[in-house]
Amino acid sequence: MEILKIADLHAFIEEKEVIKGVNLTVNTNEIHAIMGPNGAGKTTFINVIMGNPKYKISSGDILFKGKSILNLSVSERARLGIFQSFQYPEEISGVTFMNFLKLAYEKVHPEKQMNVLEFGDMLLKTADSLKIDRDFLKRYVNLGFSGGERKKSEILQLNVLNPQIALLDETDSGLDIDALKVVSDGINHAAEMGMSVVLVTHYKRILDYVKPNFVHIFIDGQIIKTGGIEIAEELEKSGYEEVRL
C-alpha cells in the first residue's frame, strides 16, 4: 500500500527555490535512506513534507494514503500518522518526558486513551525493550541531555507514538557506537511493527544496522539517483562528486 507520494514537488524559502522537482513514493513497511552532502536540501525536504510554514510550495503535491495534505497543518499531519525527528531536538524545561509523551499520545491516538498507570506501564516496557534508561522519563524533555540521549529520546517517542511513517533527520549524527546500536534497534523495532521510514543520513554506518529498501542521493534540491545499498557503498569509495556523473 502506498503511504506517501511526493509528486514533482517544488518549494521556496523567501525568494530561493530549495526543492526542485522531487518525486518519491514510499509504500507500507519500506525503509528509504536519503543521502547527500551538507546544504543539499535533505532537512528542508523533510520539513516541507511535515508542513513547516517557513517553506512555501510553488507546485507539485504531497499525498498521504492517496490524499493531498498540502492544506493541512503540522499538527494535523501528525494526527494522520506522520512523525518527524529532529537533527537538533529542542529542550522543553518544566515538562517531564512522561507527561510530554502522554499528552502527545492522547493527541495522535484519541481512540486509545489510557489512564496514567496504564500509560506509565506501557512507557516503561517500551523503554526497557529499547534499553533506554528509565530515568529519562522523569527528566524534563531533553534538558541537559547529551546529543546521544536526545537521539534516544526521539526513538523512544517514535516507538510510543507508533506513527504510520517516520521522517528521521540525521538520527545517527553525533552518536557513539553504543548509542548508534540503541537508535538503530529502535528504528528496526518500529519498522517490524509495520511502520514506513524515511531516514536522512550523511553516512553509511547506520545502514549497516538499518537495512534500507532504497537509497536516494539528494543533491541541490533534487533526487539524482536511486538504487539499493550499493549506492551507499559507492559513496563511501568515491564521494558525491563521482555519483553526480
β-pair partners for 1:
none
* Rounded Cα–Cα distance for residues 94 and 45 (Å): 31
Q: Are strands 165-169 and 82-85 parallel, antiparallel or unpaired?
A: parallel
Tens digits of residue pLDDT in 130-181: 888 888 888 888 888 888 888 888 889 999 999 999 999 988 887 888 889 9
* Rounded Cα–Cα distance for residues 5 and 74 (Å): 17
Q: 196 to each of 2, 31, 46, 157, 192, how far by Cα in Å?
A: 10, 6, 14, 15, 9
Task: Specify the DSSP class assigned to residue 90.
Answer: P
Helix (H) / strand (E) containing 237: helix 229-244
Domain count, the chain: 1
What does pTM read for this prediction? Answer: 0.92
Q: Tell me the three state secondary structure of residue 174.
A: coil
Sequence letter at residue 111: E
Q: What is the mean pLDDT of residues 35-64?
A: 94
Average predicted confidence (pLDDT) for the chain: 90
Sequence letter at residue 180: L
The pLDDT of residue 243 is: 62
The pLDDT of residue 242 is: 65
Q: What is the mean pLDDT of residues 63-68?
A: 97
Q: What is the mean pLDDT of residues 74-90?
A: 89
The pLDDT of residue 90 is: 80
Provide the domain limits for residue 200.
2-244
Tens digits of residue pLDDT in 98-123: 999 999 999 988 888 888 899 999 99
Find the CATH number of the domain harbouring 134: 3.40.50.300
Q: What is the mean pLDDT of residues 66-72?
A: 96
Residues above pLDDT 90, as percent of the chain: 57
Beta strands in 31-99, from DSSP E residues, in sequence order = 31-35, 56-64, 67-68, 82-85, 92-96
